[in-house]
Amino acid sequence: MNDDNIKKLGLYIHIPFCRQKCLYCDFFSYSNFDDAIFNKYFSYIIKELEIRLKDFDSTNQIINTIYIGGGTPSLIKADIYKLFFDRLFNIIDKNNIVEMTLELNPESVNKDLLDYICSFSFSRISLGIQTINEKSLNEINRIAKLNNIDNALDIINASTIKNISVDFIHSLPYNTIGQTKKDISYVLEKIDIKHLSLYFLEMDDTNIIKKKWDALILNENDSINDFLYTLNYIYSLGFKRYEISNFCTDDIYKSKHNLHYWDMDDYIGLGLSACGCYNHIRYTNTSNINKYFHAIDNNNFEQYIEKLDSKIRKSEFIFLSLRKSEGINIVQYNKVFNEDFYNVYSNVIEKYKKYLIIRNDYISLEDKSMLQSNDIISSFFI
């Protein structure tokens, strides 16, 4: 079969375990765990996959990326992962995998786990640094301190892993002008990274913690200027932005798994609170571990189902496309939704044209408008 005719899907596996929760994080996690629960949880991940694959047509589609996120996936020992992957690759074809990402937190990076991950030629790691400012790390309730970060970077540097991504967060409490540039520079002096993610701290205005942190972060003007300054520094290092928060040194280091989401491909999500999407139906698993085990035992799912009608798919097409540096593919939009994009959204385009790059058959956001992206994007849905 011609490769162009094969539908490629991503597989996301949620590891819902953390020693303690960072105060900015809204992902679901458990703090009560041991090796026994890890082994049981992975066995149910395998069971869930076997059930879900019954609904997939294996004749013209394959799973080609795996992303293990959390939570803190690096809490789990190498031998537990080995058992899991042995079972996983009896179900899906290992030869089809082009990328497998494992999220790591600095305090739980260890040589045994990294050595095992490096045994896969398609392995990629995503290390959550956020910042090296210890006052900020304490404030956000992050376990990792600078010594943990240094140790993790040393272990990674001594390994054979080449596909390395690092996460940073801008405008954390107690971070002053130039801190994010310092964070990135510090890491680059120790390891060679091919990909980085730079997130802007965003929290709901009603959040009590946000109200406290408002007095501890840069004012809006300084924050925006410093963010743009940091962007220019990143570009000077040879990184290219391909999504609002993501940068790589070469196209081969783009996150292939995340591109499944941004390109609106189908994907399978496994585990507590994991999301998946197939044939315009999106599901979200329960976040209750006992309900999850019970549902799988009964060959059923405890999940929330959302049917994606044309209106939702249009909104998500625009939202996800504008997150990518290439922007909205007008020809593709017109073909998929059978309407003329420029006619439908002419008023929005005119209103925000100074923030947009309009070229040939694409519309994208200027760098300077990234921090206003939510307002601009939402205007397409009014």
The C-alpha torsion from 174 through 180 and 183 to 184, rounded to 10°, is: 170
Query: Hey, which residues does 364 pair with through a beta bridge?
Result: 357
pLDDT of residue 6: 86
User: Which pLDDT value is given to residue 76?
Assistant: 97
Q: What tokens does 208 get?
A: 């009590």
Task: State how far the Cα of 17 lies from the Cα of 48, in Å rounded to an integer.
Answer: 18
Burial group, residue 68, by CB count within 10 angstroms (0-12, 13-18, 19+) = buried
Tell me the residue type at 162: K
* Domain annotation for the chain: domains and CATH numbers: 3-262 (3.20.20.70), 327-381 (no CATH)
pLDDT beneath 50: ranges in the chain: 1-2
Specify the amino acid at residue 58.
S
Alpha helices in the chain (DSSP H): 35-52, 78-88, 111-118, 134-139, 146-157, 179-188, 208-213, 220-236, 256-262, 289-297, 310-323, 330-337, 341-344, 346-351, 373-378
**Helix 310-323 vs helix 330-337: angle between axes, to the nearest 10 degrees?**
170
SS3 labels along 89-122:
CCCCCHHHCCEEEEEECHHHCCHHHHHHHHCCCC
pLDDT at residue 4, rounded to an integer? 65
Q: 214: which 2 tokens?
A: 């408002």
Q: What is the pLDDT of residue 368?
A: 73
Q: Rounded CA gap, 328 and 351, in Å?
A: 17
Backbone angles phi and psi of 126, in degrees to 5: -125, 110
Copy the structure tokens of residue 189.
């002096």
- pLDDT tens sequence across 143-184: 999 999 999 999 999 999 999 999 999 999 999 999 999 999
What pLDDT does residue 369 have? Answer: 75
pLDDT given at position 90 = 97
Average pLDDT in the chain: 93
Would you state the pLDDT for residue 1?
43
Give the per-residue pLDDT at 255. 98
- Confidence (pLDDT) at 3: 66
Identify the pLDDT of residue 248.
Answer: 98
| Calpha distance 68→179 (Å, rounded) | 29
- Which pTM does this prediction carry? 0.94
Q: Which residues pair with 199 in a beta bridge?
A: 169
